[in-house]
Homo-oligomer: A and B are copies of this chain.
Amino acid sequence: MSINVTIKDVARAAGVSYSTVSRVINNTANVDENKRQRVIDAMKQLGYVANLQARSLAGGRSQVVGMLVPDLGNGYTGTILQGVNAEATANEYEMMLYTTHHRKVKEPLYVQTLTRGMTDGLLLLLPVDPGAYLESLRGKNFPYVVIDHQGFDTFSPTVVSTNRQGAYDGTTYLIELGHRRIGFVSGSNHTSSAIERLRGYRDALEAHGLSYDEQLVVPGNFDQPDSYRAGLRLLDLPERPTAIFATSDISAFGVIDAVHERGLRIPDDISILGFDDIPQAEWINPALTTVRQPLYEMGRRAMKMLLDYIEEPDAPTQRLVLSTELVIRATCRRITD
């Protein structure tokens, strides 16, 4: 394995011109079978590895996709990333990762850099304020896919899950267990998933003839500390709920902290339901009952979709909706009176 073997080295070794080598690499035209074989042998022997930069600069594909995530270190992002990564690897694509740490201002800049030759396409997870640059990407006809889109534009290819139905199912489950006062720790009001989940909750209440009580809905922002406070507020209500539906697992962890703080037991004194099913959901004790989003699959499918767009940039806008699923574990319990 020598240092920096180029296409020219291969050409020399195989006794052909270097454009012929390019042809066999890219399978872009017919090459004499004999020569083709010689080239392949030479590549193998010299340990040729393509220089992706040069390739992409010359107008080919860079074989790299960019991915913008809000943060790392939590199961949500991690699991989606795994899905993306699996599909990328399977298609000989590399992944370039950017973290915005929820800082709005960074997104446009990153998107700019990423689309300047570096990448063939872009995956955006939970973008904070995509309006600014999504249109520009679209204008350039630059391939991108949004995962868990938090806005409502109709022109962006998107992979989401059935937030509303999931919340509906979760709430219904609690109702069927006999709960009548169900606390709801909501996400931030600006994101569509939060709004959808709240809607699902309300739908379910209504469908079962329960009235919506504003007091029972407290914002948790998909954040543990915020949700801890939200939990406390719900628990300290004059008429305490018998169940709390936290709309993300992280949020549920915060609520669980609050429950313990108040010296209550789960699920004996109160039932807790989460949303997402990140890996940690089954690590805690008792294991968290939650509405599962197919995170890994969302990542995988988004990458697949992006690959399609890279292949065919003018394909019509797709919107893939994956199903959520109630995962019953140990934090919810039937009301017995």
Distance in Å from the Cβ of A315 to the closest Cβ of chain B?
Answer: 20
Within 8 A of B (CB), among A89-118: 89, 94-99, 112-113, 116-118
Contact partner, A116, options B52, B284, B285, Cβ 8 Å: B52
| Residues of chain B contacted by A222 (CB below 8 angstroms) | none
Q: Is the pair B74, A279 in contact by a Cβ cutoff of 8 Å?
A: yes
Instruction: Produce 1/0 per residue, A243-258, CB < 8 A to B.
Output: 0000000000100110
Q: Is the pair A49, B116 in contact by a Cβ cutoff of 8 Å?
A: yes
A31 at the interface (CB under 8 A from B): no
A78 at the interface (CB under 8 A from B): yes
Residue in B closest to A73 when the chains form the complex, CB atoms: B78
Instruction: Produce 1/0 per residue, A52-63, CB < 8 A to B.
Output: 111011000010
CA distance A94 to B163 in the complex (A): 33
A4 at the interface (CB under 8 A from B): yes
Task: Pick the interface stretch among A79-87, A180-188, A190-198, A305-313.
Answer: A79-87
Within 8 A of B (CB), among A1-21: 1, 3-4
Number of A interface residues in the complex (CB < 8 A): 50
Q: Is the pair B72, A82 in contact by a Cβ cutoff of 8 Å?
A: yes
Contact partner, A57, options B53, B64, B78, Cβ 8 Å: B53
A226 at the interface (CB under 8 A from B): no
A37 at the interface (CB under 8 A from B): no
A75 at the interface (CB under 8 A from B): yes
Residue in B closest to A283 when the chains form the complex, CB atoms: B253
A260 at the interface (CB under 8 A from B): yes
Distance in Å from the Cβ of A63 to the closest Cβ of chain B?
Answer: 9
Residue in B closest to A114 when the chains form the complex, CB atoms: B94
Q: Is the pair A97, B96 in contact by a Cβ cutoff of 8 Å?
A: yes
Q: Is the pair A52, B118 in contact by a Cβ cutoff of 8 Å?
A: yes
CA distance A4 to B4 in the complex (A): 29
Q: Is the pair A94, B82 in contact by a Cβ cutoff of 8 Å?
A: no
Q: If the complex has contacts A49-B112, A94-B98, A284-B285, are A81 and B89 also in contact, measured as CB distance less than 8 A?
A: no
A317 at the interface (CB under 8 A from B): no
Residue in B closest to A51 when the chains form the complex, CB atoms: B117
Q: Is the pair B81, A73 in contact by a Cβ cutoff of 8 Å?
A: yes
CA distance A52 to B224 in the complex (A): 38
Q: Is the pair A52, B117 in contact by a Cβ cutoff of 8 Å?
A: yes
Contact partner, A94, options B4, B113, B280, B283, Cβ 8 Å: B113
A223 at the interface (CB under 8 A from B): no
| Residues of chain B contacted by A99 (CB below 8 angstroms) | 82, 85, 89
| Residues of chain B contacted by A257 (CB below 8 angstroms) | 285
Seen from chain A, the residues whose Cβ lies within 8 Å of a Cβ on chain B are 1, 3-4, 47, 49-54, 56-57, 62, 64, 71-75, 77-79, 81-82, 85, 89, 94-99, 112-113, 116-118, 136, 139-140, 224, 253, 256-257, 260, 279-280, 283-285
A selection of 27 A-B contacts at a CB cut-off of 8 Å is A1-B136, A3-B139, A3-B140, A47-B112, A49-B112, A51-B57, A51-B116, A52-B116, A53-B53, A53-B56, A54-B117, A72-B78, A72-B79, A72-B85, A73-B75, A73-B78, A73-B81, A82-B99, A85-B97, A94-B113, A95-B97, A253-B283, A280-B280, A280-B283, A283-B284, A284-B285, A285-B285
